[in-house]
């Protein structure tokens, strides 16, 4: 049957495609090192699983408030408020099954045909997707490698037009690991006010950083009426399969988000929401030890990549991805990702799946144990050493 044109805007998730291919190779006996999927390799902390079991035993198995269980919305408001130093109203929190649905809600509630939504390129693929799905034009602004994966504010200014209604940010950033500074955020706040657009800030990696605490849109009281803060439980609490995320939205958008939630998912899983209260209110030791482990892996991976001729890797400041520039190896990112998977058993993602600016890069998730990361570096080095030297001035296809 012919599907609607709208379906063409929804890509097959590249990480899943690679994961499936890696699975086929494993079935035929290959030893695959998985660096393609963006999920922590640690178990959900046991106190959270226990809270879920207790919630099941207490009968928290029915429909609940489509906006989210009040106890969880209060816990989220308290957490975001404590982190940002600006109080948050639980009435402005909307809970969803994972962060992904709220990306759609953000675009569907703020954009219509003919509008423009700006996204940062490279980007988590869902960003331009949701803008186009809302029938608006997706306008990229480059995150510059040479600026340490920060925005050039002049380029952002140039991308704003009278039709701009939405700016989608993500810091700490997937795939580059870059972090926007407080000055960047302050400037963005000024631009949003001057040009009357909404800022959607995906802060799902907010707790995974290796230097100063990342700045958040929530820190700017002036953003209260025009910022949508998104986060979730997947990355911080190793809860990717539980499916729980949330948005903190301006009062004027609460009804729209609740309507979108009610009509698309009815509500988020009730017992999972009760477990999430314990994630926020319980010990944060597991988060600290996870980040310490990620830091160790990051240092080994980045150092190892930088020792391979033709590869240079910026040190990611947050999230759990290395995003090396591979333009010196004489192969495109797509070709290299393919060769690494098929010939060396290292599953990575080609940078170009994250947008034009990702071209010439690979994304490697350091969500696998250190010894496997060391083995991956060795295998990548071996593959690269067998490639013919790149021809000067000739762009790899």
Q: How far is the CB of 6 from ligand PLP (least distance, A)?
A: 21
SS3 for 115-161 is CEEEEEECCCCHHHHHHHHCCCEEEEEEEEHHHCCEECHHHHHHHCC
Q: Does 396 bind ligand PLP (CB under 6 A)?
A: no
Q: Does 18 bind ligand PLP (CB under 6 A)?
A: no
Q: Does 245 bind ligand PLP (CB under 6 A)?
A: yes
Q: Does 201 bind ligand PLP (CB under 6 A)?
A: no
Q: How far is the CB of 200 from ligand PLP (least distance, A)?
A: 11
Q: Where are the beta strands (DSSP E) in 146-260?
A: 150-151, 164-170, 198-202, 227-232, 245-248
Q: What is the largest CA-CA distance in the chain?
A: 67
266 φ/ψ angles, rounded to the nearest 5 degrees:
70, -60
Q: Does 177 bind ligand PLP (CB under 6 A)?
A: no
Q: How far is the CB of 228 from ligand PLP (least distance, A)?
A: 13
Q: 25: which 2 tokens?
A: 């190779």
Q: Which stretch binds ligand PLP (CB under 6 A): 93-101, 132-140, 301-309, 343-351?
A: 93-101
Dist. CA 33–CA 25, nearest whole Å: 11
The answer to whether 103 and 263 have CB atoms below 8 angstroms apart is no
The Cα angle at residue 270 between residues 237 and 245, in degrees rounded to 5: 40
Q: How far is the CB of 127 from ligand PLP (least distance, A)?
A: 8
Q: Does 170 bind ligand PLP (CB under 6 A)?
A: yes
The answer to whether 36 and 348 have CB atoms below 8 angstroms apart is yes
Return the residue of 36, 202, 207, 317 that touches ligand PLP, per CB under 6 A: 202
Number of residues lying near ligand PLP (CB under 6 A): 13
Dist. CA 110–CA 94, nearest whole Å: 16
Q: Which stretch binds ligand PLP (CB under 6 A): 95-103, 136-144, 249-257, 350-358?
A: 95-103
Return the residue of 106, 232, 345, 360 that touches ligand PLP, per CB under 6 A: 232
Q: Is 230 helix (H, G, I), strand (E, B) or coil?
A: strand
Q: In degrees to the nearest 10, what's the CA dihedral of 49, 273, 235, 79?
A: -110
Within 109-148, the residues that bind ligand PLP by CB under 6 A are: 124
User: Quick one: 175 or 304, whose CB is closer to ligand PLP?
Assistant: 175
Return the residue of 66, 98, 178, 355 that touches ligand PLP, per CB under 6 A: 98
Q: Does 106 bind ligand PLP (CB under 6 A)?
A: no
Q: Which residues contact 394 (CB under 8 A, 6 or more apart)?
A: none
Q: How far is the CB of 350 from ligand PLP (least distance, A)?
A: 16
Q: What is each CA distance from 144 to 52, 163, 265, 311, 312, in whole angstroms?
A: 42, 24, 37, 17, 15
Q: Does 204 bind ligand PLP (CB under 6 A)?
A: yes
Return the residue of 164, 174, 270, 367 that touches ligand PLP, per CB under 6 A: 174
Return the residue of 49, 181, 240, 335 that touches ligand PLP, per CB under 6 A: 240
Residue nearest to ligand PLP (CB): 98
β-strands 349-350, 362-365: how paired? Answer: antiparallel
Q: How far is the CB of 15 from ligand PLP (least distance, A)?
A: 8
The answer to whether 333 and 352 have CB atoms below 8 angstroms apart is yes
Distance from the Cα of residue 6 to its chain's centroid: 23
Dist. CA 6–CA 13, nearest whole Å: 16
Which positions from 330 to 369 touch ligand PLP by CB under 6 A, shown as an x/- string?
A: ----------------------------------------
Q: Does 38 bind ligand PLP (CB under 6 A)?
A: yes
Q: How far is the CB of 235 from ligand PLP (least distance, A)?
A: 7
By the criterion CB under 6 A, which residues form the site for ligand PLP? Answer: 38, 98-100, 124, 170, 174, 202, 204, 232, 234, 240, 245
């Amino acid at each position: 049957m012919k599907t609607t044109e709208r379906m063409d805007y929804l890509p097959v998730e590249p990480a899943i495609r690679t994961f499936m291919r890696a699975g086929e190779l494993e079935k035929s006996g290959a030893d695959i090192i998985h660096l393609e999927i963006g999920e922590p390799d640690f178990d959900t902390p046991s106190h959270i699983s226990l809270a879920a079991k207790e919630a099941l035993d207490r009968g928290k198995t029915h429909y609940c408030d489509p906006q989210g269980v009040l106890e969880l919305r209060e816990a989220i408001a308290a957490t975001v408020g404590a982190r940002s130093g600006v109080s948050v109203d639980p009435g402005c929190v909307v809970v969803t099954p994972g962060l992904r649905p709220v990306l759609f809600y953000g675009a569907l509630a703020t954009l219509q045909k003919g509008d423009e939504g700006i996204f940062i390129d490279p980007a988590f693929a869902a960003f331009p997707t949701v803008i186009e799905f809302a029938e608006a034009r997706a306008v990229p602004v480059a995150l510059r490698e040479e600026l340490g994966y920060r925005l050039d504010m002049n380029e952002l200014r140039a991308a704003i037009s009278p039709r701009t209604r939405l700016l989608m940010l993500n810091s700490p950033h997937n795939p580059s690991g870059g972090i926007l500074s407080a000055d960047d955020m302050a400037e963005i706040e000024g631009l949003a006010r001057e040009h009357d657009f909404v800022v959607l800030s995906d802060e799902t990696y907010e707790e995974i950083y290796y230097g100063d605490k990342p700045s958040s849109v929530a820190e700017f009281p002036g953003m209260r009426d025009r910022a949508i803060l998104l986060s979730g439980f997947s990355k911080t609490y190793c809860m990717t399969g539980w499916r729980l995320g949330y948005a903190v939205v301006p009062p004027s958008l609460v009804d729209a988000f609740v309507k979108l939630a009610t009509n698309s998912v009815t509500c988020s899983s009730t017992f999972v929401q009760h477990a999430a209260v314990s994630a926020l209110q319980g010990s944060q030791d597991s988060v600290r030890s996870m980040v310490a482990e990620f830091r160790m892996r990051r240092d080994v991976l980045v150092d190892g990549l930088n020792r391979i001729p033709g590869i240079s890797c910026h040190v990611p400041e947050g999230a759990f991805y290395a995003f090396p520039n591979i333009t010196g190896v004489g192969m495109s990112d797509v070709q290299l990702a393919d060769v690494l998977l098929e010939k060396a058993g290292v599953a990575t993602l080609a940078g170009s799946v994250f947008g034009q600016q990702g071209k010439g890069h690979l994304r490697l998730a350091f969500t696998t144990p250190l010894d496997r990361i060391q083995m991956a570096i060795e295998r990548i080095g071996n593959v690269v050493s067998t490639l013919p030297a790149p021809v000067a001035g000739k762009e790899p296809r």
